[in-house]
Amino acid sequence: MLLEGREVKSLRLKHASLTGSFVKVVGGELFLLNAQINPYQFAQNDDYDPKRTRKLLLKKNEIAPLAQATAQKGRAIVPLEIELVGNLIKLKIGLGRGKKVYEKREIIKKRDLDREMRRDSKFSRS
């Protein structure tokens, strides 16, 4: 990742969140969007945006298959975790597939059944 000094210090203190973030291919380069790196408390943070877009540093031969896979419908590159490896900060990414409509319906049915079973067992105890 292409980071500022205050972001590196904040990441070393584990003040980051990948919730809701995603990776996008733009012009043959990868960018991390919506990842929140909280400001380092001892740095000057007047104009700091914790959710700014950050460029990922990969080689062209690593980017090409990812870009090709995301061109397919329903595929996305997802950030999994931020690792501290010695002096380096690395981002683990994975290739994900979105759920089909029928898969979503099955999950909703199962969730409703579980909720009803819990509710019935709650009333049967009383």
CATH classification of the domain holding 94: 2.40.280.10
CA dist 71 → 33, 97, 99, 126 (Å): 18, 12, 17, 55
Task: Specify the number of domains making up the chain.
Answer: 1
Q: What is the structure's pLDDT at 73?
A: 80
What range does the domain containing 51 cover?
Answer: 5-98
* Residue 107: inside a domain: no
Distance between CA 67 and CA 70 in Å, rounded?
Answer: 5
Q: What is the structure's pLDDT at 74?
A: 78
Q: What is the structure's pLDDT at 91?
A: 94
Alpha carbon 125 to its chain's center: 42
* Residue 70: inside a domain: yes
Q: Flag whether pLDDT at 126 surpasses 60.
A: no
Instruction: Take residue 109 and report the two structure tokens written for it.
Output: 């049915």
Confidence band for 97, pLDDT divided at 50, 70 and 90: confident
* Residue 125: inside a domain: no
What percent of the chain is modeled with pLDDT above 90?
56
Mean pLDDT of 32-58: 91
Q: Which residue has the higher pLDDT, 97 or 32?
A: 32
* Residue 108: inside a domain: no
